[in-house]
Chain A
Amino acid sequence: MNDGMHTVDVRGLTKVFGAGEGAVEALRGVDLQVARGEFVAVMGPSGSGKSTLLYLIGALDTPTAGTVCIDGVDLSRMDDNGLALLRRQRIGFIFQAFNLLDVLTAEENVSLPLVIDGVSEVEAGRRAAESLGLVGMSGRRHHLPGQLSGGEQQRLAIARALVTRPLLLLADEPTGNLDSANSDQIMRLLCSLAEEHGQTILMVTHDARWAAAANRVIRLRDGRVADEQTLPAARAYPQVVRELESQL
């Protein structure tokens, strides 16, 4: 392992909710590294601690023990403002529930992280438009989230996550609230971000279908890493199709 060069470096991560009798150990010493440009999926049944892991990496919560380093910086050494700064500049979040502000238009939603960061309104608007273009939502920039389909809302959320050109994209069950067709589209988007733009992605999902899109899969079970599997580079699709057809 090449220490320090990882985008995400998690060591001995432990998280306990509650105390005493009712204490729940969500994570029990997880080690995990994600290199720059990797697309990693964290899988596991519900209650395996995978979302907790994501929130700890995303600096939305603090661990009970262990360390999280993002790009070589130990999060435990940062105060709340530092963590906020990290979230706004280096991390992009995608949630199952989209988490858009429903009174803001698509473009305003996307520009929000920049606005919070103090980027000028004009510049934020320009970059938001760019980001919306990247997810194919340019035509919907003046719509409110309520006027968009679930898939479009998630694309919007992705545009928002990308607008700061984050080092790390964190996705929490990004297709959990979507139908198959929309899920396919979102996953294609994530794949192409990883393949074409070299975006580092850490995605949490309980669904093998979506985890299989990643380059590496980590299986969590009862708060521990149960298995880790690097997936080989895939063959070109016509070859795969021909093989399938031949079995008909």
Chain B
Amino acid sequence: MRSAVARRIAERSTKLSFKHALLGLLAEGPLHGYELKTAYETQLVPAGNLNFGQVYTTLERLNRDGLVSFEKVNQAERPDKKVYKLTAHGRRELKDWLTRPSTIELDQRNSTFLKLMLARRLGGVDLMGVLAAERRACFERLHEVTRAKAQAQQAGAPLQSVLLLDLAVLTLEAFLKWLDRCEAALKQETNK
């Protein structure tokens, strides 16, 4: 039971699911291993550096589970290559995954929180100074992604890049707002 729950959570995770990424790429048509790697890098995650091993292990696992099948294509001077395609089961699994909502994973483990909480407990540390430093750092980051986004839009960068920058901008903005909230609450606490 526990493992089933754990697996479901894992499958819903916001973390990139490599398995489903491959299924998704194959949904557009049969591809062989090398083509898959290239498609992943150009269409989905340009910065993702895949190694072949990762690709082939995953494909084999998918084949084992009956989600993909392959046929061998003879090549004149080189070894036969396997062209993978989605099975009906695989197609169903992909659709299932796409429509199933992800569990929104909140990565709460950031050091700012810890720093603030520690500074609050410990005497002799300028709590507001810590907070201001965190804010400056965050703001610098925000400045960078904001300008990057402006440049990206100006230069006509692919939509996926712009949206990714947007995600960063908004996350940072939210973080800054949270810092403001901390400041207000901590000030109130000190004043009491």
Contact = CB atoms under 8 A, between A and B. Distances in A.
**Are A and B direct contacts in the complex by CB distance below 8 Å?**
yes
Interface of A: 45, 184, 187-188, 191-192, 207-209, 212-214, 217, 227, 229, 231-232, 234-238, 240-246, 248
B81 interface: no
Given A191-B147, A237-B152, A244 B165 contact: yes
A212 B150 CA distance: 11
B43 to A, nearest CB: 12
A237 B48 contact: no
Contacts of B185: none
Given A229-B136, A245-B46, A248-B16, A208 B150 contact: no
A237 B148 contact: yes
Nearest to A235: B144
Contacts of B173: 207-209
B85 interface: no
Contact of B132 (A184, A227, A245): A227
A209 B47 contact: no
7 contacts: A207-B173, A208-B173, A208-B176, A236-B151, A237-B155, A244-B164, A245-B45
Q: Which of B146, B149, B157 has the most CB of A within 10 A?
A: B146
B148 A188 contact: no
A248 B148 contact: no
B47 A184 contact: no
Contacts, number: 97
Contacts of B151: 234, 236-237
A232 B173 CA distance: 18
Contacts of B161: 237, 241
A245 B142 contact: no
Contacts of A245: 45-48, 164
Given A208-B173, A209-B142, A192 B48 contact: no
B46 to A, nearest CB: 6
Contacts of B153: 184, 188
Contacts of A240: 144-145, 148, 165
B31 interface: no
B157 A231 contact: no
Contacts of B168: 244
A212 B48 contact: no
A12 B51 CA distance: 62
Nearest to B176: A208
Nearest to A246: B47
B47 A242 contact: yes
Contacts of A235: 144, 148
Q: Which of A208, A217, A238, A248 has the most CB of B within 10 A?
A: A208
A248 B150 contact: no
A184 B169 CA distance: 12
Contacts of A192: 154
B140 interface: yes
A1 to B, nearest CB: 21
B172 to A, nearest CB: 8
Given A209-B169, A209-B173, A234-B143, A242 B154 contact: no
B70 interface: no
Contact of A213 (B48, B150, B176): B150
A191 B136 CA distance: 21
B175 to A, nearest CB: 10
Contact of A237 (B139, B140, B157): B157
B148 A234 contact: yes
Contacts of B146: 187, 209, 212-213
Nearest 8 A/B pairs, CB to CB? A245-B47, A234-B147, A237-B148, A240-B148, A237-B151, A212-B142, A212-B146, A231-B143
A231 B139 contact: yes
A248 B147 contact: no
Q: Which of B16, B145, B170 has the most CB of A within 10 A?
A: B145
Nearest to A217: B139
Q: Which of B142, B143, B144, B172 has the most CB of A within 10 A?
A: B143
